[in-house]
Amino acid sequence: MTRRQSNPFRPGFNQAPVVFAGRVEVLDGAVEALEVAAYDARTPRPLILVGPRGVGKTVTLGEIATLAAEELSWPSVHVEAKAGGFLAELSLRLQKARQLLAGTVVAERPLGRTRVSGGKVEAKALGVGGAIEFQVDAADRAADLDVATALRQVMQVAAERGAGLLLTLDELQNASPDELNTLGALLQESVPLDWPLVVAVAALPSLRSNRGPRRLPTYLERAEWHELEALPAKDARQALVEPARQAGRPMTPEAADALLGIAGGYPYAIQVVGHFAWRASHDSAEITLVHAHAARPRIEADLEQLFTSRWEDASGREREYLRAAASAAQKHARPPTGGEVAAELGTTAKSVSYLRDRLLKKGTIYHDGAGRLHFITPGMGLWIGDLEH
Ligand SMILES: Nc1ncnc2c1ncn2[C@@H]1O[C@H](COP(=O)(O)OP(=O)(O)O)[C@@H](O)[C@H]1O
Ligand SMILES: [Mg+2]
């Protein structure tokens, strides 16, 4: 019997995968921005990654942070926007980054491999993870600098040390219009100063589509936008097959085909199918079709939880709208327009637009540039179609 090895799959959100597959275009864009900032002394346009939940926005930000650390020895500051505000937290983390760059917070490892993330400095020394906690003492909290000052100060120190800073902002669709405008104005003003600063943002598509007549700050409008979608077949296969191979329990091509048939290219689902197939194969030297089949019920139960939580979050009328959207999608064999969903409900688009808007706001659906409505969680439409009414 084979020794039980630890599971190389990472189902869940914000979990860096063992093998990060694809997204070459985004990473190339990030490398270019980092190089422009570091060597050409110009502040590049920000990168914005938008896409549904579970598509890999957060872990891609993490990859960009790793690139910044490995290629340039730059630290990064990561902050997640929350409905209750995030600028105060951003300010605090910028101050921590300044201390780190100035050497007043001593990292266990050379600066080259460190990353400021949350209250921690993670030492990214060639995969040897060590982390030291920041001492957030009373004096720090009392400092309470506004974010503009905090940014200016950290950039000054960075420039003096010949370093720079990567700023990663996650879940930016949660930011209030006021905070977004403050941040947009601040970053816009910094462009002519040619700071060695790269900004990478991640958000649900609603960052752009839910704003009604309000416009995004120009700084964000002019960003380099990347729409993250399901991984193409080749990358999806790599994300599934490689972790198992590297962990010493390879997957047969038939098993991979069956599992990819369930997951499609949806990165969250790829980790889920890999995770349960791994668990179903503990007494085997490889993962076979038998294990893939055995894992199926647990995979489906896991993916259903995502749909269920969205569904339970919807009111009775909103559920009717979602049902109509699912059946319109099936009828037209593509994501429907608002008008097509309304037709399914036997009414006008205008009379149900309030339902559409509420679901957009909740992040259950989004509309693309062509005005088509998509479920944010891939597969949810089919799942709704199968529900007992
Ligand atoms: N390029 C990728 N290769 C392999 N796994 C990935 C990739 N992108 C995302 N994942 C996995 O998908 C899941 C969701 O990623 P996450 O970044 O939390 O998504 P999002 O921020 O878009 O909601 C995680 O388990 C992560 O490990
Ligand atoms: Mg995320």
Please list the residue range(s) of the chain that carry CATH number 1.10.8: 233-310
**Ligand 1 lined by 49 (C-beta under 6 Å):** no
Which residues lie across from 375 on neighbouring strands? Answer: 365
Under 8 Å between Cβ of 131 and 121: yes
Q: How confident is the model at residue 3 (pLDDT cuts 50, 70, 90)?
A: low
Q: Rounded to whole angstroms, how far apart are CA atoms 38 and 61? A: 18
Please list the residue range(s) of the chain that carry CATH number 1.10.10.10: 313-386
Domain 313-386 CATH (choose: 1.10.3720.10, 3.30.300.130, 3.40.50.620, 1.10.10.10): 1.10.10.10
Any idea which of 175-184, 209-218, 363-372 has the lowest mean pLDDT?
209-218
Instruction: Choose one of 173, 268, 276 to mutate for the ligand 1 pocket test, by most ligand atoms within 8 angstroms of C-beta.
Output: 268
- pLDDT over 70 at 132, yes or no: no
CATH code at 233-310: 1.10.8
Which residues lie across from 125 on neighbouring strands? Answer: 128
pLDDT of residue 4: 65
Q: How close is the Cα of 269 to the center of ligand 2, in Å?
A: 14
Calculate Rg over the CA atoms of the chain.
23
Predicted model pTM: 0.83
pLDDT digits (tens, 9 = 90+) for 198-235: 999 999 888 886 565 567 888 998 999 999 988 989 99
Q: Rounded to whole angstroms, how far apart are CA atoms 170 and 155? A: 21
- Helix (H) / strand (E) element for 35: namely helix 24-39
Nearest 5°: CA angle at 89, between 88 and 91? 65
Please list the residue range(s) of the chain that carry CATH number 3.40.50.300: 24-227
Q: Rounded to whole angstroms, how far apart are CA atoms 71 and 195? A: 18
* SS3 state of residue 113: helix
Fold of the domain built from segment(s) 24-227: Rossmann fold (3.40.50)
Q: Rounded to whole angstroms, how far apart are CA atoms 263 and 255? A: 12
Q: How close is the Cα of 289 to the center of ligand 2, in Å?
A: 31
Q: Rounded to whole angstroms, how far apart are CA atoms 268 and 299? A: 11
Any idea which of 43-57, 108-122, 180-194 has the lowest mean pLDDT?
108-122
Q: Which position has the token pair 């085909």? A: 257
pLDDT of residue 161: 87
